[in-house]
Amino acid sequence: MATSPSTLAKATVTSGERAIQRVGSATNVSPEGRAFNLINVARSVLSGADIEQITQDQSLYKVEPTYALRNSYGDNLLWDFWIGSFVEEEMSKARGGPNNRLPTKDQLCFADRATQLAVKLLKEAPASPTKLQICFVASLQFKRIGNTQGAQGCDEFIQQSVKNCEDEMRASPEAIIEAVSVLNSMAYRLAPVPIPSGTLASIERKDLGQSITEDAARKSEELRLRAMKLADRLPSDNHVRRMVHRDLVFFYRHFDRQNLAEEQKQILFELVGVSDDKILFPVSQFCGRALWWTAATGQIAALCGMG
C-alpha cells in the first residue's frame, strides 16, 4: 500500500536533509544537473543505500548529466537507457517477489524530499535539452514513493511540453529530440518490447517477461507514432530520426505485424540510402564504439581516443 505524502512529512531525516541540501545547492552544477543527481541519490536510498553514508559521499553532486549520458552521435540513446532503467525497476517492483524489499519510512521520506527539490530546481531552471526527461523520471519516482500529487504535476508538465512541441512547427531540433525520447519512454512503459541495441549489450533493454495487453500495445503504438511524426521533422541524415523508424521495425515485428514492420524498414532504407537489413544493427568498432547506418561487415578499426 502506498504511503501518502502527509505520512511521509511526519518522518524526520536530519542527516538526509544535509545530503539533500548539499546536492541541491552545488553551485558548480547546473540546475538540471542537480535535479539529475538528487533523483539518482533518492533512487539509491530507495534501493537500500544507507542514508548516513550518502551524506559523506562527495561524488553525488558533481555530475552533469550531459557529460554522464552522452555518446558520439549526440543523441539520446544513453538518456533513453537511463530512463528505461527506472521504467524496468518500476515494473520489477510491481511484479513483486522475494527480493523486492520495501523501503523504510525514513527512506521514503528522504526520497520524496529529494525528488520534490529536484522538481523545484527543474521548474526554476531555464529551458534545456534534458529538462523533460528528468521530469519524466521524477514522475516515475513519485509514483514509486506514493506521492500521487507530485507525479500528477510532473505528468501534466510533460504532456503540455510535448504538445507545445507538436504544435510549434518551428520547434528546435533539441526540443524535438527530447520530446521523442520521452514519448518513446512512455511507450516502453506501457508495452516493454525488447528492442536490440546492437553493441550496447551490457545495457540492452531486456524482455521483462511481462504480458502486454492489446490496449497497452495500442496506446504504446500511438505514442511511438507521435514520436515518429516529430522525428520526421528532422533532416534525413539525423540519427534520432532514423532510430525511430528502426525501432518501429522491431516493435511491429514483436507483435507479428510484418506488413507495418516492412513499411518502416523501407522508410529507413530511403532515409539511409542503403537497402540492406544489415543497417538495422551497428557495426562494432574498437573501444566499444558502434558505427551505424552501414552495410559493411566485420569490425572496423578505429584508434582509441580519436573521436
What secondary structure does DSSP assign to 33-75, as a single string? Answer: HHHHHHHHHHHHHHTT--HHHHHH-TTTT---HHHHT--TT-S
Question: Confidence band (pLDDT; 50, 70, 90) for 70?
Answer: low
List the domain boundaries for the chain.
Answer: 5-280
φ, ψ of residue 284 to 5 degrees: the values are -75, 135
CA dist., res. 228 & res. 175, Å (int): 14
Cell of 231: 522525428
Q: What is the rounded average pLDDT of the residues 149-159?
A: 97
HSE of 137 in the Cβ direction (CA atoms, 13 Å)? 30
pLDDT of residue 307: 45
CA dist., res. 263 & res. 212, Å (int): 23
Q: What is the rounded average pLDDT of the residues 265-288?
A: 89
pLDDT of residue 201: 41
Q: Does residue 59 have a pLDDT over 90?
A: no
Q: How many residues does the chain have?
A: 307
Cell of 220: 504504446
Q: pTM for the full model?
A: 0.83
Angle of helix 239-254 relative to helix 214-231, nearest 10 degrees, comes to 160
Task: List the one residue out of 272, 228, 284, 275 whose CA is nearest residue 252.
Answer: 228
Q: Are 255 and 217 in contact (CB under 8 A)?
A: yes
